[in-house]
Amino acid sequence: MRQIRQAYHESRSAGSRAFAELLSEHVDALFGTALRLCGGNLADAEDLLQDATLRAFDGFASLRERTAGRAWLFTILMRTHFNRVRASRRRGEIVSSDLDQAAFEEALENWRPSATPEDVLSERELTERIAEALAALDPALLAVVHMVDVEGFPQRDVAKMLEIPEGTVASRLFRARGILRDRLAGTARELRLRRQL
Amino acid sequence: MTTSCGKARRLLWPDAGPRAVTGEVEAAEQHLARCEECRAFLEEMRHLAGLTHHLAPRPQAPRAVKDRLFETVALAGTVSSGLRQRGIVRWLAVAAVIALATGLTLVWRAQRATAPDLMTVFVDDHVRATRGAGIASSDSGVVVRWLTSRLPFAMDVPRLPNLELRGARLWIMDGRRGGVVEYSTHGRSVSYFVVPSWPAAGPPSRPGDVHLTSHEGYHVAAWQEPGLIHALVGDLPEATLAELARLCMAKMMAFLDESRPRPTGRGSS
């Protein structure tokens, strides 16, 4: 009995250490994501991160492959966040920017190329505008663009994380990038006009 | 087969991962080869993605947030998952902090001069260590760097005979922050504490003295230097622990000679 207890404590200890190691590798990115999802509110972000971390700690034994740890942690963070949002707002899964296939194709068709803003905006200005544009996005669009474009997860993984079809990930990305582009282009236009005056 | 720009863009949407080469996709690729606007579209999508990836701010978690997070994880190891899922862990954490603060205040007021109270704290912490969070590494350089960045004093990670270095963690109580290095030997664990001293810890021992005590089957070998208490805790035989403590003390002295400016008037020989 003593041996079983010792083995149990040792395995738990090893698990705790492995979990802490995994968490410490990704804690900054998880915090950044939580902060963005919580609209920049530090207390809410910490609360979300604590909640998600405890859930992850509970389920750590189910993580078979350590290499999948990053996606696994982010999945828990995203689902914890959206469960909270759903619980507080009791709103549906579908957001206004979700398009069916035909509508998505039509939106894609209507896209017109625009000049890149880098020739007008400095890197600092671009960073500020991107941060502002991200902060202003609908939470569903923000989640997708953050996970794909900022964190670099494959769209297929993000679809699984958020439990939405891949096509919806694509259409939300398209919409989010469109908003981002318009915002950057608007700022660039303003700057060009100011310089001409 | 004719393909509209919208369909071609949907089918060739960038970064969608591997896609099956169907007739539709082949037609979309042929469309792309002759449609400059579609190529520009795909290029712009990639460009916007790259811009966001490289320029979106990535805030780092403040150290206080990290500390609280890892303390929560350490605490979680001592509470059943059922309770945690009901969100009771926070209340327990608050209750534990209040109980701890109350206990320490009482100890402080009583000004008890005997050492066992702190020794009990060490033993309890050693037992909790099996569920604690910190750094797991057998590289003493890595562990030293980890501790150095988190402690207000220099701490050595001595190599001890027959003990395997497992890692380190923080020890935090009533605003005091100490370090704990963890070792193991034949399935048994030994914790090496270096914590700031306080009145309840008892009278300062003479330099070179090792104070031995036991609590619930665990032995503690403790010694002091000005401002700091050192202790080895484990269920190894008391004599073994005392021997390790003396070795540890000798290494500590050597470490102090190398790394810390020795305070004047200090009797550490």
Is the CB of residue A24 less than 8 Å from the CB of residue B174?
Answer: no
Interface subset of A 59-98, CB within 8 angstroms of B: none
Edge-to-edge strand list for the sheet holding B218-225: B135-136, B164-173, B176-185, B188-196, B228-234, B218-225, B211-215
Quick check: helix, strand or coil at residue B180? Answer: strand
Cβ contacts of B9 on chain A, cutoff 8 Å: 105, 108-109, 111
Q: Is the pLDDT of residue B120 over 50?
A: yes
pLDDT value at residue A67: 80
Q: Residue B83 has which token pair? A: 């309770």
Interface subset of A 96-155, CB within 8 angstroms of B: 101, 104-109, 111-114, 116, 118, 123, 126-127, 130-131, 134, 145-146, 148-150, 152, 154-155
Q: Residue A50 has which token pair? A: 């604590």
DSSP states along B121-178: HHHHHHHHGGG--SEE-S-HHHHHHHHHTT-SS-------TT-EEEEEEEEEETTEEE
| Rounded average pLDDT over B89-108 | 53
Q: Is the pLDDT of residue B265 over 50?
A: no
Rounded Cα gap, residues B61 and B67, in angstroms:
10
Q: Is the pLDDT of residue B107 over 60?
A: no
pLDDT value at residue A61: 83
According to DSSP, the β-strands at B188-196 and B211-215 are unpaired
Rounded Cα gap, residues A33 and B232, in angstroms:
41
Rounded Cα gap, residues B248 and B210, in angstroms:
11
pLDDT value at residue A182: 85
Rounded Cα gap, residues B250 and B210, in angstroms:
12
Q: Is the ipTM of this complex over 0.90?
A: no
Rounded Cα gap, residues B220 and B238, in angstroms:
8
pLDDT value at residue A117: 64
Question: Chain A residue with minimal CA distance to B75?
Answer: A54
Locate the DSSP E strands across chain B. 135-136, 164-173, 176-185, 188-196, 211-215, 218-225, 228-234
Please check whether residue A24 touches B, CB under 8 A.
yes
pLDDT value at residue B13: 87
Question: Chain B residue with minimal CA distance to A33?
Answer: B58
Taking only the tens place, the pLDDT of each residue in A35-68 is: 999 988 888 899 999 999 989 988 888 887 878 8
Q: Is the pLDDT of residue B196 over 60?
A: yes
Please state at what angle helix A166-196 crosses helix A101-109, rounded to 10 degrees: 20
Closest CA–CA distance from residue A48 to any residue of chain B (Å): 11
Q: Is the pLDDT of residue B193 over 60?
A: yes
Strand partners of residue B178: B171
In this complex, the residue of A20, A31, A145 whose CB is nearest that of residue B52 is A145
Q: How far apart, in Å, are the Cα atoms of B184 and each of B99, B137, B181, B197?
A: 31, 12, 10, 26
Q: Is the pLDDT of residue A145 over 50?
A: yes
Q: What is the pTM of this model?
A: 0.55
pLDDT value at residue A144: 94
Please check whether residue A170 touches B, CB under 8 A.
yes
In this complex, the residue of B52, B60, B133 whose CB is nearest that of residue A16 is B133
Percent of chain B with pLDDT over 70: 66
pLDDT bracket for residue B135 (50, 70, 90) = confident
For residue B168, count CB atoms less than 10 angstroms from its CB and return exposed for 0-12, middle for 13-18, buried for 19 or more: buried
Q: How far apart, in Å, are the Cα atoms of B125 and each of A26, A69, B116?
A: 27, 29, 14
Q: Is the pLDDT of residue B71 over 60?
A: yes
Residue A113 and residue B167: Cβ atoms within 8 Å? no
Cβ contacts of A123 on chain B, cutoff 8 Å: 55
In this complex, the residue of A31, A49, A58 whose CB is nearest that of residue B81 is A58
For residue A124, count CB atoms less than 10 angstroms from its CB and return exposed for 0-12, middle for 13-18, buried for 19 or more: exposed
Residue B51 and residue A130: Cβ atoms within 8 Å? yes
Closest CA–CA distance from residue B93 to any residue of chain A (Å): 13
Percent of chain B with pLDDT over 90: 7
Please check whether residue A47 touches B, CB under 8 A.
no
Nearest to B118 by CA among B32, B215, B29, B23: B215
Is the CB of residue A80 less than 8 Å from the CB of residue A33?
Answer: no
Cβ contacts of A6 on chain B, cutoff 8 Å: 187
Cβ contacts of B51 on chain A, cutoff 8 Å: 118, 126, 130, 184
Rounded Cα gap, residues A36 and A44, in angstroms:
10
Is the CB of residue A121 less than 8 Å from the CB of residue A129?
Answer: yes
pLDDT bracket for residue A193 (50, 70, 90) = low
pLDDT value at residue A116: 62
Query: What helix, strand, coil percent values describe chain A, rounded to 5?
Result: 80, 0, 20
pLDDT bracket for residue B264 (50, 70, 90) = very low
Taking only the tens place, the pLDDT of each residue in A94-115 is: 455 577 788 888 888 888 776 6
